[in-house]
Amino acid sequence: MIELNHYLVLSAILFSIGVIGVLIRRNAIIIFMSIELMLNAINITFIAFSSFMGDIHGQIFVFMVLTVAAAEAAIGLAIVIALFRNKETINIDEINILKWLILSNNKFKKCRISFIL
């Protein structure tokens, strides 16, 4: 018998894989794929809750999430292409004209923290 918890654990695992993918991969498109994985993991949570509570709201939510994910894919790939035309790379380590955290002065450049990207 497959219970609610099985679905929840499965979706939590998939969500974590997505998060880890975003954090460690360096290719913008693969990062984006990991984000899609996170969204689909959430869809499993919604459907599991919806099905076990006998409530239709969760499934409606899933449709909306799918639609939004599709819209985000369209925009995201367009942004990646626009960047590739100017820069000829989608490796996010090389996309570093704007400094993440620290200061505009050169002496602090070395302690630039690349958080997430």
Partner 1 sequence: MIQLQDFNYIIPLLIITIGATVTLVIDAFSKNKNVVFWFTIVTVVAALSTAFIHIDIATIVFNNFIRINILSTTFQVLILTAILISVFSSKSYIEKEGINFGEYYSLMLFSVMGMILMVIGNDLLLVFLGLELMSICFYVLAGFMRKRIKSNESALKYFLLGAFMTGFLLYGIALMYGVLGTTNISTISSAGELIKTPTFLIGFGLFMVGFFFKLGVFPFQMWVPDVYEGAPTTITGMMSTAGKIAAVGVILPIVVSLASNITTFRPVFSVAAILTMLIGSVIALSQSNVKRLLAYSSIASAGYIMVGIASMNDWALKGIIFYLVAYVFMQLGAFIIISILEQNSSDTNEFKNLELNNYKGLAKENPVLAIFFTIFLFSLAGIPPFAGFWGKYYIFYAAIQANLIWLSIVGILISVVSVYYYLKLIVYMWFMDSDNTEYSQDVYRVSPLTNFAVSLTIVGTLFFGLFPEVFFNLFKV
Q: 48: closest CA among 12, 95, 24?
A: 12
Q: Which of 1, 75, 93, 110 binds partner 1 (CB under 8 A)?
A: 75
Closest separation in Å from C-beta 1 to partner 1: 19
User: With binding defined as CB under 8 A, does residue 46 bind partner 1?
Assistant: yes
Relative orientation angle of helices 4-24 and 28-53, to the nearest 10 degrees: 170
The amino acid sitting at 11 is: S
Cα 11 to Cα 5, 40, 47, 86, 110, distances in angstroms: 10, 8, 11, 38, 39
Closest separation in Å from C-beta 110 to partner 1: 15
User: With binding defined as CB under 8 A, does residue 25 bind partner 1?
Assistant: no
Q: Which of 3, 20, 100, 112 binds partner 1 (CB under 8 A)?
A: 100
**How far apart, in whole angstroms, are the C-alpha atoms of residue 92 and residue 22?**
11
Largest CA distance in the chain: 62
What are the residues binding partner 1 (CB under 8 A)?
8, 15, 18-19, 22, 28, 31-32, 35, 38-39, 42, 45-46, 49, 53, 55, 57-58, 60-61, 64-65, 68, 71-72, 75-76, 78-80, 82-83, 86-87, 92, 95, 97-105, 115-117
